[in-house]
């Protein structure tokens, strides 16, 4: 069995999508449609930068999705025919839903622009932070967050793989967690260069904004089940998907558990579209899995030959 998987924020790079658009009319069509939906030349920002503007949450989120869907459509592969499941990391869940036909491309782009804006606006700059705990299990990370909170918000945001967990919350709590993590046995604890504390209760205003936006967004049943971040389980009904996407804004990204669940469901091949971020995580979670990362036109050709 096979899953198509889609990367999240942090995978953006200047030049993304450029070679794919030059090689594929289908990829160009994706970027042009996203530009039109947003009323912005996002494709030019993706191709030329500058990086600090591309990295702004409101730009990075639709850009990463557009790159992933352009890569998929350049392949010409039918998701319903070639994938048994889809999944994505954080914003990548929207890419997965778009790939599976639950959202159309323009709707996905507009939702991610709003999501990025709402997440950035939820917490004043400088008040929140995130940190990666390396060489720490989920249980250790939860203990670190609990000890560091001291009346503030400090929670696990991303359970990425057995050796990498991300925490999120008030900046002073996260800074306390850096020292506590080392005391509890983490190999390293590093602040992440992010502009807001994603996937924690401080994001509630953004969750409220997404609840309103999703309530009015056209959403169909996906062609294949989508593994949801907050449950690490497949979802297929529109109302359920809406609810899970709202919960995802403040909830933990259960990526490690999602891959475990996919593996236990019989998925042995994982195809990452538009990035090389999730593939290494998958291998650390399921060492016997086959991972294909698809970034370049040559990768697309290899994927088509492979599957």
Active site residues: 90, 199
Q: Which segments of 136-244 are extended strands (E)?
A: 154-161, 164-170, 188-191, 226-227, 234-235
In the block, residue with structure tokens 């804006």: 117
Give Cα 8 to chain centroid, integer Å.
Answer: 3
Extract long-range pairs of 25-33: CB within 8 Å, 24+ residues apart: 26/70, 26/73, 26/74, 26/76, 27/70, 27/71, 27/73, 27/74, 28/70, 29/73, 30/66, 30/69, 30/70, 30/73, 30/105, 31/66, 31/70, 33/105, 33/106, 33/109
Is residue 237 within 8 Å of 263, Cβ to Cβ?
A: no
Cβ neighbors of 83 (< 8 A, separation 6 or more) are 2, 3, 4, 100, 224, 271
């Amino acid at each position: 069995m096979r899953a198509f998987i889609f990367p999240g924020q942090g995978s953006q790079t200047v030049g993304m999508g450029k070679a794919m658009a030059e090689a594929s009319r289908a990829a160009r069509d994706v970027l042009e449609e996203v530009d039109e939906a947003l009323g912005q030349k996002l494709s030019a920002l993706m191709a030329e930068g500058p990086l600090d503007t591309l990295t702004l949450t409101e730009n990075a989120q639709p850009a990463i999705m557009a790159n992933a869907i352009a890569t998929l459509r350049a392949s010409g592969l039918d998701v319903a025919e070639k994938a048994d499941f889809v999944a994505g990391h954080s914003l990548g869940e929207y890419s997965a839903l778009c790939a599976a036909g639950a959202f159309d491309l323009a709707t996905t782009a507009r939702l991610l622009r709003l999501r990025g804006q709402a997440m950035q606006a939820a917490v004043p700059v400088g008040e929140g932070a995130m940190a990666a705990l390396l060489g720490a299990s989920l249980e250790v990370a939860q203990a670190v967050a609990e000890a560091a909170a001291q009346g503030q918000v400090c929670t696990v945001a991303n359970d990425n793989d057995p050796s990498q967990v991300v925490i999120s919350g008030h900046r002073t709590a996260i800074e306390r967690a850096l020292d506590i993590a080392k005391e509890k046995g983490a190999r390293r604890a590093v602040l992440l260069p992010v502009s807001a504390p994603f996937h924690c209760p401080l994001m509630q205003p953004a969750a409220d904004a997404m609840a309103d936006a999703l309530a009015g967004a056209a959403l169909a049943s996906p062609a294949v089940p989508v593994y949801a971040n907050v449950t690490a389980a497949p979802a297929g009904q529109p109302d359920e998907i809406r609810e899970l996407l709202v919960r995802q804004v403040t909830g933990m990204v259960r990526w490690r558990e999602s891959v475990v669940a996919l593996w236990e469901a019989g998925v042995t091949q994982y195809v990452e579209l538009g990035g090389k971020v999730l593939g290494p995580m998958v291998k650390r979670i399921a060492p016997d899995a086959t991972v294909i990362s698809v970034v370049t036109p040559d990768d697309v050709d290899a994927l088509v030959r492979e599957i």
